[in-house]
Amino acid sequence: MSTGRIYTVPWTGTVTNAGGNTDLWEISPADDLPCKIRGIRLGQTSELGDTAEESLRITIRRFRATVTSGSGGSSGAPEEVGRSNQTPSFAVEVNNTTVATTSGDNEVIEEIAWNIRNSPFEIWYPDPRFSPAAIQGEALLIRCESTVADDLTFAGTLWIEEG
């Protein structure tokens, strides 16, 4: 049973093969409003042939101490799924090409292998007890741990429960 408000954070853009990892989403909860990931949809629209097939390693991480935010991306645009017109309190960034770092624990909560030809790829956490969560002073990250072979046009949505 969900107790907080649900927001989506969709974005489209280019994940580049410039080298290194990319933080697809970086979520920083606000004071007294924990955040939980309730679902993720990963997709791409540019790598369509057999020769373009590749598999990417995606992780869901929780940083449990001081977080230095990534850079090179942009602010996300959360949208409330419900109709109460509440503005989210959490901060979110998307497509950071310089990944976030932490002074403390860097927990890998989930490892995902995504064959980019299997688009869209979805993960759902219908039971909140299994949802990756963070509180103020922590961060949740969905990170692409692989360098793509060539630039790909990404389309994805993250569902976040706040509260």
Choose from 2-11, 17-26, 138-147 the range with maximum mean pLDDT: 138-147
Check residue 51 and give its pLDDT. 66
Look up residue 51 and give its DSSP letter.
G
What span, in angstroms and rounded, lies between the C-alpha atoms of 29 and 91? 7
Domains annotated on the chain, with CATH: 5-162 (2.60.120)
Check residue 75 and give its pLDDT. 93
- Of residues 112, 136, 117, 147, the one with CA closest to residue 34: 136
CB atoms within 10 A of CB 29: 24
What span, in angstroms and rounded, lies between the C-alpha atoms of 80 and 76? 13
- For 17-60, how does the pLDDT look when each residue is reduced to its tens digit (9 = 90+)? 887 899 999 999 999 999 999 999 999 988 776 666 889 999 99
> Amino acid letter at 119?
S
- Of residues 23, 103, 110, 20, the one with CA closest to residue 63: 103
Check residue 84 and give its pLDDT. 77
pTM of the model: 0.92
Q: Do residues 156 and 68 touch, judged by C-beta distance below 8 A?
A: no
- For 58-90, how does the pLDDT look when each residue is reduced to its tens digit (9 = 90+)? 999 999 988 899 998 999 999 999 877 889 999
